[in-house]
């Protein structure tokens, strides 16, 4: 089974801190994604990557950046955390964008105080 | 699926009954649809998928129905169990790939199973 591992389940950070959320998948998937999940708003795509060093903005990229230096790892960076970035962050990967569902990690619940 | 503000639509069923969760999708050209289950504190898990050339697909205790005429998906769970309690999302993949056309999720429905 594909496994997508997010490094932290819970994080508490202070406003203005630089925050790194790490995600690793073990099945050689080309595509990786970062979503945030908020009550009533569902899952919203922040960034995705279809290859090493390639990235594309999703629906809500403002305040975030990403890094994909290796195929298995996709990092989400909050350059200067703000309280409105308090959310559940979900990483996902997929082999194909068209024919496969996404496999999700367990999520990181980030609280910015 | 549609967002309904701060509160998810909730379906409450008795253990052993059948559950039907509905979802409206937005793009009539979407090729591929997926249902996900998300339990509390966990990421979404794949349940079942269906392609646009099918009307129905069955899995173990679950059936997905696709009505392309009205852009509607449903997930039927037979003999619902307490372990089925979760939030269920539908998702669609549009046919054209670009940064704006990725897998898009509905807002979700919370299923509560009463013992």
- Which residue of B3, B7, B32 is in closest CB contact with A42? B3
| Cβ neighbours of A104 in B, within 8 Å | 36, 43-45
Q: How does residue A89 score in pLDDT terms, banded at 50, 70 and 90?
A: very high
| Cβ neighbours of B32 in A, within 8 Å | 98-99
Q: How much is the average pLDDT of B47-59?
A: 94
Q: Specify whether the CB–CB gap between B48 and B64 falls below 8 A.
A: yes
From A27, A18, A19, A22, select the one nearest A8 (Cα to Cα): A22
Q: What is the dihedral of CA A23, A29, A30, A32, to 10 degrees?
A: -30
Q: What percent of chain A has pLDDT above 90?
A: 71
Q: Which of A47-51, A106-110, B18-22, B53-57 has the lowest mean pLDDT?
A: A47-51
Q: Which long-range contacts (CB under 8 A, 24 or more apart) does A61-69 make?
A: A64/A34, A66/A34, A68/A32
* Residue B3 pLDDT: 33
| Cβ neighbours of B95 in A, within 8 Å | 98
Q: How far is B114 from chain A (nearest CA, A)?
A: 23
From B62, B105, B100, select the one nearest A38 (Cα to Cα): B105
* Residue A99 pLDDT: 61
Q: How much is the average pLDDT of A19-46?
A: 91
pLDDT reading at A107 higher than 50: yes
Give the number of other Cβ atoms within 10 Å of residue B9's Cβ.
16
Q: How far is A31 from chain B (nearest CA, A)?
A: 11
Distance, in Å, from the CA atom of B115 to the CA atom of B10, rounded to the nearest integer, reads 16
Q: How does residue B30 score in pLDDT terms, banded at 50, 70 and 90?
A: confident
Distance, in Å, from the CA atom of B98 to the CA atom of A44, rounded to the nearest integer, reads 16
The per-residue pLDDT for range B11-26, each reduced to its tens digit, is 999 999 999 999 998 8
Give the number of other Cβ atoms within 10 Å of residue A72's Cβ.
17
Q: Which of A37-51, A90-104, B53-67 has the lowest mean pLDDT?
A: A90-104
| Cβ neighbours of A98 in B, within 8 Å | 31-32, 93, 95, 97
Q: How far is A89 from chain B (nearest CA, A)?
A: 9
DSSP per-residue letters across B77-108: ESS--GGG-EEEEEEEE-SS-STT-S-EE---
Distance, in Å, from the CA atom of A30 to the CA atom of A69, rounded to the nearest integer, reads 13
Q: How does residue A101 score in pLDDT terms, banded at 50, 70 and 90?
A: confident
pLDDT reading at B102 higher than 80: no
Interface contact B35, partner A, CB < 8 A: no
Contact B105 A42 (CB under 8 A): yes
pLDDT reading at B60 higher than 60: yes
* Residue B94 pLDDT: 74
Decide: residue A69, CB within 10 A, 0-12 exposed, 13-18 middle, 19+ buried. Answer: exposed
Contact A98 B93 (CB under 8 A): yes
pLDDT reading at B53 higher than 60: yes
Q: How much is the average pLDDT of B85-112?
A: 80
pLDDT reading at A63 higher than 80: yes
Q: How does residue A111 score in pLDDT terms, banded at 50, 70 and 90?
A: very high
């Amino acid at each position: 089974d594909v496994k997508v591992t997010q490094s932290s389940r819970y994080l508490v950070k202070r406003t203005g801190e630089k925050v790194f959320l790490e995600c690793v998948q073990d099945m050689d998937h080309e595509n990786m994604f970062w979503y945030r999940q908020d009550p009533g708003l569902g899952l919203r795509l922040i960034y995705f990557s279809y290859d090493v060093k390639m990235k594309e903005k999703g629906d809500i990229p403002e305040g975030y950046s990403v890094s994909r230096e290796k195929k298995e790892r996709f990092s989400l960076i909050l350059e200067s955390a703000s309280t409105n970035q308090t959310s559940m962050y979900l990483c996902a990967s997929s082999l194909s964008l068209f024919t496969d569902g996404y496999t999700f990690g367990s999520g990181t619940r980030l609280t910015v105080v | 699926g549609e967002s309904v503000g701060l509160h998810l639509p909730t379906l409450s069923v008795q253990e052993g009954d059948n559950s039907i969760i509905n979802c409206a999708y937005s793009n009539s050209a979407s090729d591929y649809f997926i249902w996900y289950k998300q339990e509390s504190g966990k990421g979404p898990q794949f349940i079942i998928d269906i392609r646009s050339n099918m009307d129905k697909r069955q899995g173990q205790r679950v059936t997905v129905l696709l009505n392309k005429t009205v852009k509607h998906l449903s997930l039927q769970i037979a003999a619902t169990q307490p372990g089925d309690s979760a939030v269920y999302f539908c998702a669609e993949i549009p046919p054209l790939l670009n940064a704006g056309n990725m897998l898009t999720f509905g807002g979700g429905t919370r299923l509560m199973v009463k013992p």
